[in-house]
């Protein structure tokens, strides 16, 4: 071709494209671009591990170096997905072990990872650098020992929020003495003690260590030992942040902190007591990310700490901060972009803190860059939501959780439709929304009409009828993930908008009114979807067709139905009726 | 050489020397055809709907049916484990709840200097609820039980058996085990009730006699 660039030139051009969207677009231009692109794609993101098989991925992208895979549906975080559901990573590791020896990075979220998988990773990829296991489970500290012992080039080991069976704290000692390339270590989720001397030695011989997140079992008195050996730390997660009140402990801590000139992120703070908070004073001005969501310190001390962090961009905190604390935050931290307020007593019937909608309104008024919100509270009003929407049209993520289901506007006793309507109407860039409180079909009409950039929507205890679901499915053009629980949505909206489901990653519906018959129909007519019924009452066809299913998970896939389903999951497809007879 | 930028499929060598000819333009696919047709379009679904949505019908006539379906679903509510506990609500990850329990207990026993003094009273109040996860061997979904409302192993076990409904008649064939703070699984019943309540992180009902 007289006009075409040589392959190497195109490859070089493509190397500047990092986003998947761009790479996918490039691969659609023409066959030769498809070929060139697939040979040089290094990073792969698989949003649903069952949407595609490892074989297909590897066949298309043989030179992959970094893989990110997500497994269980989001609601698995809240115990709505029974154990044994799936999302096993082993088939992926086995396939890549054979075909991708140059693999360097594996990032997994909500997947089941066994020690066997970890051992296979550690032995298969000579240049393995990054392992991030986010909300994963199924492995023990023995698996971690394999990683430590065999991955000579490991840079990152991040176990954020995973459930690890703690067999022994000695796994850390398996890092060889000549291993010095550690950059990031996050063991905050581990329940029991790790060998402290091994940790100390590891930190001491890791000059590139930037992130260190300890677990609760590391006592405060020992923290200075680590900090002194790693003054270059950028992100620190403390262990338990309490100790007997002693002046030498305090001064050691203060001194160690003041040597850390590069600290930008802090987390940990289990059991924090106020007496030791001032030890951190010197680092506060540099802090951009602060996670105090385990710190059970009360408002005045919290406020004092938070307002010292004038450059704060991200704050995660318990509702002990209260309205007045959030007001102070709004006055001091003008760069705030993300706020998450978690409930200190989620199951208590009565409020234990003075945190209301007012706190959020204050922050929305005072923090012009606020774009991401997760807020747990006990009361809300349409007026507050409207104010927030008007103050912050730049919101991208808005997740509100009013603790009691179906609670109306506490001032007017009306549903919160208008308030959330204002949010979607004003915040035109909104990508993620979680609803709560008393809501009718009207709110879904607003969402369908205005939320054109919405990608993920979470609904619980809301709506009156199928009309609500119909508004969402027919109106939200960018919708990728929809998760619904305890809503009166049935068959009609789902069947009327069946094709929409092929444009989305997944749909989750539990405790709704979708009948078995509708699920069968959906599965039979749309072969590119996996329609899975999760029901612990036994086979769905042992009940009438009109009987609602317990849970429904629908997702698009190019790999056909799963082969690893447990006894309580059934796929609805053409063969369904044959299998059950 | 002039740079040619086109969205057309690589055509054969028979390409006109004048890139601006009409025939070139006609051979280009439109953006929509090239991308939306392949990646799927909201406006033009690949398959026809399985049910035609009729606004009038849905808004007016169907509420009665909806209510009937809703009632049917309510009786099927697996979202509720017992009357007072909803599974997975509020949507707080379980490890967050666990850590909260730890800190409340520790607050009470070790560092009482500030917590109970200043406002909020978050320290004392919280001891009221002590939810731990419970699993029964052979049952896929776990439950949660509030240890603080029980006074003895007997009432706890009776409650647990009742929770897992269908296994009631086999109560004798199960033993209660728990995971302590160190991560070890132990048989429940050996230590005083109070000690047990403060050490148990999660429970499991295991079948006897294998």
- The pLDDT tens digits for A43-55 are 999 999 999 999 9
pLDDT for res A576: 58
| pLDDT above 70 for B129 | no
Average pLDDT over residues B85-113: 58
pTM of model > 0.95:
no
**Which of A85, A270, A488 minimises the CB distance to B70?**
A488
**CB count in 10 Å sphere of residue A328:** 21
Terminal CA-CA length for chain A: 59
The answer to whether the CB atoms of A352 and B96 lie below 8 A apart is no
Q: Is A271:A299 a contact under the CB 8 Å cutoff?
A: no
Give me the pLDDT at residue A75, please.
96
Q: What is the ipTM of this complex?
A: 0.88
pLDDT at A343: 95
At A402 the pLDDT is 97
Query: What is the length of chain B?
Result: 210
CB contact under 8 A, B79 and A189: no
**Size (chain A), residues:** 581
Give the dihedral sign, CA A399/A405/A411/A415: positive
- Residue B23 contacts A where some CB pair is shorter than 8 Å: no
Spatial strand order in the sheet of B143-146: B143-146, B131-136, B202-207, B174-179, B185-187
pLDDT value, residue B45: 44
Beta-strand relationship, B202-207 and B131-136: parallel
Question: Residue B91 pLDDT more than 50?
Answer: yes
Interchain contact B33–A (C-beta under 8 A): no
Residue of A511, A520, A525 to mutate for B, most B C-beta atoms under 10 A: A511
Please state, rounded to an integer, the average pLDDT across all residues of chain A: 95
B138 touches chain A (CB under 8 A): no
pLDDT mean over B78-82: 45
Question: In the prediction, which pLDDT does B156 show?
Answer: 85
Average pLDDT, chain B: 59
For residues A564 and B201, the model is more confident at A564
Task: Please give the C-alpha separations between residue A91 and each of A86, A109, A111, A558, in angstroms, as whole numbers.
Answer: 12, 15, 12, 17
* Partner residue opposite B50 with nearest CB, options A82, A165, A522: A522
| Residue B131 DSSP symbol | E
B122 versus A461: the higher-pLDDT residue is A461
Mean per-residue pLDDT, A4-19: 89
Euclidean distance between CA atoms A379 and A411, whole angstroms: 9
**Residue A98, token pair as written in the block:** 């054979």
Q: Which two tokens stand for residue A232?
A: 């270059």
Six token digits for residue B19: 């890139």
pLDDT average, residue stretch B145-157: 81
Please answer yes or no on whether B79 and A486 come within 8 Å at the CB atom.
yes
Q: What is the pLDDT of residues A405-452, one digit of tens each?
A: 999 999 999 999 999 999 999 999 999 999 999 999 999 999 999 999
pLDDT digits (tens, 9 = 90+) for A535-557: 988 899 899 999 999 999 999 99
Query: What pLDDT was estimated at residue B137?
Result: 79
How many alpha carbons fall within 13 Å on the CB side of residue B25? 3
Q: How sure is the predictor about B14, in pLDDT bands with cuts at 50, 70 and 90?
A: very low
Per residue in A102-128, pLDDT (tens digit) is 999 999 999 999 999 999 999 999 999
Distance, CA of B138 to CA of A136 (rounded, Å): 22
Q: Which of A377, A375, A359, A352 is nearest to A298 (CA)?
A: A352
What ranges in B44-168 are assigned the alpha helix state H? 55-56, 63-75, 94-109, 112-115, 122-126, 153-163
Work out the minimum CA distance from B50 to partner chain A, whole angstroms: 5
Where does residue A339 rank: exposed (0-12), middle (13-18), buried (19+ CB within 10 A)?
Answer: buried
Largest CA distance in chain B: 93
Give the distance from residue A180's alpha carbon to the nearest chain B alpha carbon, in angstroms.
30
What CA–CA distance (Å, rounded) separates A349 from A530?
40
In whole angstroms, give the CA distance from residue B126 to residue A303: 22
pLDDT digits (tens, 9 = 90+) for A507-520: 999 999 999 999 99
Over residues A209-219, the mean pLDDT reads: 96
Give B-chain residues touching A555 at CB under 8 angstroms.
Answer: none
Chain A interface includes B182 (CB < 8 A): yes
Are the C-beta atoms of residues A117 and A139 closer than 8 Å to each other? Answer: yes
The candidate with the shortest Cα–Cα distance to B202, out of A162, B85, B191, B185, is B185
DSSP 8-state secondary structure symbol assigned to residue B10: P
Q: Tell whether the torsion through CA atoms of A499, A502, A505 and A507 is positive or negative.
A: positive
Residue B192 has pLDDT above 60, yes or no: yes
* pLDDT higher than 60, residue B30: no
């Amino acid at each position: 071709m007289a006009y075409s660039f040589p392959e190497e030139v195109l490859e070089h051009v493509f190397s500047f494209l990092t986003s998947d969207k761009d790479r996918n677009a490039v691969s659609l231009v023409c066959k030769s671009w498809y070929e060139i692109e697939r040979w040089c794609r290094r990073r792969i993101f698989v949003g649903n591990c069952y949407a595609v098989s490892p074989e297909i991925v590897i066949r298309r992208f043989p030179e992959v170096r970094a893989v990110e895979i997500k497994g269980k549906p989001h609601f698995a975080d809240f115990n709505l997905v029974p154990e044994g559901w799936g999302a096993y990573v082993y088939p992926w590791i086995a396939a890549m072990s054979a075909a991708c020896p140059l693999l360097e990075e594996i990032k997994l979220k909500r997947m089941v990872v066994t020690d066997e998988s970890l051992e296979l990773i550690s032995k298969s990829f000579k240049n393995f650098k990054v392992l991030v296991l986010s909300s994963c489970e199924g492995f023990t500290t023995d698996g971690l020992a394999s990683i430590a012992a065999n991955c000579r080039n490991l840079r990152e080991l991040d176990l954020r929020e995973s459930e690890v069976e703690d067999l022994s704290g000695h796994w850390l000692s398996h890092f060889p003495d000549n291993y010095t390339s550690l950059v990031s270590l996050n063991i905050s989720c581990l329940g029991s003690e790790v060998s402290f001397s091994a940790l100390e030695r590891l930190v001491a011989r890791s000059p590139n260590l930037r992130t260190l997140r300890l677990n609760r079992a590391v006592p405060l008195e020992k923290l200075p030992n680590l900090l002194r050996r790693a003054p270059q730390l950028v992100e620190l997660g403390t262990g338990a942040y309490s100790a007997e009140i002693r002046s030498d402990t305090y001064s050691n801590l203060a001194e160690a902190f003041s040597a850390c000139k590069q600290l930008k992120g802090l987390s940990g703070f289990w059991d924090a007591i106020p007496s030791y908070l001032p030890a951190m004073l010197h680092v506060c001005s540099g802090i951009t990310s602060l996670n105090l969501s385990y710190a059970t310190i009360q408002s005045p001390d919290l406020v004092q700490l938070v307002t010292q962090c004038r450059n704060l961009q991200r704050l995660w905190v318990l509702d002990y901060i209260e309205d007045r604390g959030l007001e102070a935050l709004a006055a001091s931290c003008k760069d705030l972009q993300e706020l998450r307020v978690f409930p200190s007593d989620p199951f208590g019937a009565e409020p234990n803190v003075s945190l209301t909608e007012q706190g959020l309104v204050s922050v929305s008024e005072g923090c012009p860059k606020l774009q991401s919100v997760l807020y747990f509270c006990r009361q809300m009003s349409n007026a507050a939501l409207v104010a927030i929407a008007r103050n912050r049209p730049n919101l991208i993520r808005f997740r509100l959780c009013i603790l009691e289901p179906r609670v109306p506007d506490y001032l007017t006793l009306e549903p919160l439709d208008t308030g959330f309507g204002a949010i979607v109407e004003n915040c035109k860039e909104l990508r993620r929304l979680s609803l709560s409180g008393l809501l009718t079909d009207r709110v879904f009409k607003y969402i369908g009409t205005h939320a054109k950039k919405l990608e993920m929507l979470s609904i619980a205890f809301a709506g009156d009828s199928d009309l609500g679901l119909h508004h969402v499915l027919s109106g939200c053009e960018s919708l990728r993930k929809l998760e619904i629980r305890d809503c009166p949505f049935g068959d009609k909206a789902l069947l009327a908008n069946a094709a929409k489901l092929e444009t989305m990653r997944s749909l989750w519906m539990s405790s709704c009114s979708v009948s078995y018959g509708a699920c069968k129909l959906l599965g039979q007519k749309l072969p590119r979807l996996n329609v899975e019924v999760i029901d612990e009452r036994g086979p769905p066809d042992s009940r009438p067709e009109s009987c609602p299913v317990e849970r429904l998970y629908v997702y698009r896939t190019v790999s056909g139905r799963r082969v690893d389903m447990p006894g309580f999951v059934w796929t609805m497809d053409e063969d369904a009726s044959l299998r059950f007879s | 050489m002039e740079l040619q930028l086109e969205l057309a499929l690589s055509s054969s060598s028979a390409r006109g020397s004048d890139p601006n000819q009409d025939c070139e333009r006609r051979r280009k696919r439109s953006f929509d055809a090239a991308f939306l047709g392949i990646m799927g379009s909201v406006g033009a679904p690949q398959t026809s709907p399985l049910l035609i949505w009729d606004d009038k019908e849905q808004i007016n006539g169907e509420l009665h049916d909806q209510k009937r379906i809703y009632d049917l679903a309510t009786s099927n509510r697996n979202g509720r484990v017992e009357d007072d506990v909803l599974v997975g609500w509020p949507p707080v990850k379980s490890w967050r709840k666990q850590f909260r329990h730890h800190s409340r207990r520790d607050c009470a026993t070790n560092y009482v200097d500030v917590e109970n003094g200043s406002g909020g009273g978050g320290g004392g109040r919280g001891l009221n609820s002590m939810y731990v996860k419970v699993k029964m061997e052979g049952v896929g979904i776990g439950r949660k039980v509030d240890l603080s409302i029980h006074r003895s192993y007997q009432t706890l076990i009776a409650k647990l058996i009742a929770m897992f409904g269908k296994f009631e008649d086999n109560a004798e064939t199960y033993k209660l085990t728990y995971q302590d703070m160190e991560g070890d699984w132990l048989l429940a019943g050996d230590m005083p009730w109070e000690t047990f309540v403060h050490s148990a992180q999660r429970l499991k009902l295991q079948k006897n006699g294998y």
